[in-house]
């Protein structure tokens, strides 16, 4: 039983990592807490529900979910977030408003019922008495791939270099001929697109509902807090730690109790390592 819980924990970690990646990009580099982050995951989920219903293959749905969530994120940044840079409280309120609007809009368009799509690949890998659905393996693979792509974008491209420069010193970066406002918009769109991918991957494993965003938003931020604000490695480790903890402990006691213990531990962690387990030391 322990082994199958560890394995279940891994696919949950994949989902969590995908959900948190976008939050790491936006929060880590721009310092923005976007309370609509979970709703962008929802946008991705419904995009996949919609195009999957049109008969498009899962791979295409994932890409379309990225694009749709990125465009929605871009609009949110240009219309709302841009006006509140440097004002944490106002950003929180404004993005919460956006979250409500997106959730209710989804309810109007798709109805309140839960929706899902069949997994892209059916069947399970059976090892002894442990069943691992192939789709769960795919989730972990996609999560690792997206983490790698994000890392490559941040550390191997000019856009990534500019994003990292802004996170170190916004004003100096602007004085060096970088249009920081444009980069902010792109960063936000990119983080939103990653949330969309998370949504696409979640639907076949779980369900899409109009108000699914809130719980995923919470989980992504817990992951970011545990892992570290500016570290992709930290996000991965945070996702793995949290998922394995709830999955394994949840097998022995109830999952609810496991979550309560987890949240208590996170509070203790914030007290002693406010920037997360894997945050870079700042000089």
Binding site for another protein (CB under 8 A): 158, 161-162, 164-165, 168-169, 171-172, 174-181, 280, 283
| Closest approach of another protein to the CB of residue 28, in Å | 13
- Please say which residue, 130 or 161, places its beta carbon nearer to another protein: 161
The continuous run of DSSP H or E covering 3 comes out as helix 2-30
- Please say which residue, 109 or 176, places its beta carbon nearer to another protein: 176
| Closest approach of another protein to the CB of residue 174, in Å | 4
CA distances from 157 to 39, 150, 162, 229 (A): 28, 10, 9, 21
- Left if phi > 0, otherwise alpha if psi is -120 to 50, otherwise beta: which for 253? beta
| Closest approach of another protein to the CB of residue 279, in Å | 13
Q: How far apart are CA 153 and CA 158, in angstroms?
A: 8
- Please say which residue, 27 or 135, places its beta carbon nearer to another protein: 27
Structure token digits, residue 221:
């931020």
| Closest approach of another protein to the CB of residue 80, in Å | 21
| Closest approach of another protein to the CB of residue 169, in Å | 6
Structure token digits, residue 1:
């039983």
- The answer to whether 197 touches 144, Cβ cutoff 8 Å, is no
Q: How far apart are CA 10 and CA 146, in angstroms?
A: 16
Q: How far apart are CA 137 and CA 119, in angstroms?
A: 12
Q: How far apart are CA 76 and CA 202, in angstroms?
A: 23
| Closest approach of another protein to the CB of residue 275, in Å | 15
Q: How far apart are CA 38 and CA 20, in angstroms?
A: 10
- Beta-ladder partners of 130: 127
Q: How far apart are CA 172 and CA 215, in angstroms?
A: 38
- Please say which residue, 169 or 254, places its beta carbon nearer to another protein: 169
- Please say which residue, 164 or 275, places its beta carbon nearer to another protein: 164
| Closest approach of another protein to the CB of residue 91, in Å | 21
- Please say which residue, 91 or 180, places its beta carbon nearer to another protein: 180
- Please say which residue, 34 or 150, places its beta carbon nearer to another protein: 150
Q: How far apart are CA 134 and CA 130, in angstroms?
A: 12
């Amino acid at each position: 039983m322990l082994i199958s819980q560890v394995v279940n924990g891994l696919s949950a970690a994949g989902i969590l990592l995908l959900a948190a990646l976008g939050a790491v990009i936006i929060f880590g580099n721009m310092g923005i807490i976007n309370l609509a982050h979970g709703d962008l995951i929802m946008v991705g989920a419904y995009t996949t529900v919609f195009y999957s219903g049109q008969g498009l293959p899962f791979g295409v749905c994932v890409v379309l979910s990225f694009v749709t969530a990125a465009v929605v994120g871009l609009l949110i940044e240009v219309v709302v977030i841009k006006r509140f840079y440097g004002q944490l409280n106002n950003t929180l309120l404004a993005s919460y408003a956006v979250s409500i609007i997106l959730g209710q809009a989804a309810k109007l368009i798709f109805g309140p019922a839960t929706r899902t799509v069949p997994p892209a690949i059916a069947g399970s890998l059976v090892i002894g008495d442990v069943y691992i659905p192939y789709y769960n393996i795919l989730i972990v693979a996609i999560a690792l791939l997206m983490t790698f792509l994000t890392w490559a974008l941040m550390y191997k491209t000019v856009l990534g270099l500019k994003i990292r420069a802004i996170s170190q010193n916004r004003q100096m970066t602007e004085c060096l001929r970088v249009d920081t406002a444009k980069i902010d918009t792109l960063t936000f769109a990119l983080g939103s697109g990653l949330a969309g991918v998370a949504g696409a991957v979640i639907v076949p494993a779980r369900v899409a509902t109009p108000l699914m965003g809130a719980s995923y938003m919470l989980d992504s931020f817990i992951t970011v807090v545990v892992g570290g604000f500016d570290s992709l490695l930290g996000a991965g480790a945070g996702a793995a730690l949290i998922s394995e903890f709830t999955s394994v402990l949840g097998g022995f006691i109830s999952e609810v109790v496991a979550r309560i213990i987890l949240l208590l531990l996170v509070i203790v962690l914030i007290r002693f390592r406010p920037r997360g387990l894997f945050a870079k030391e700042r000089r």
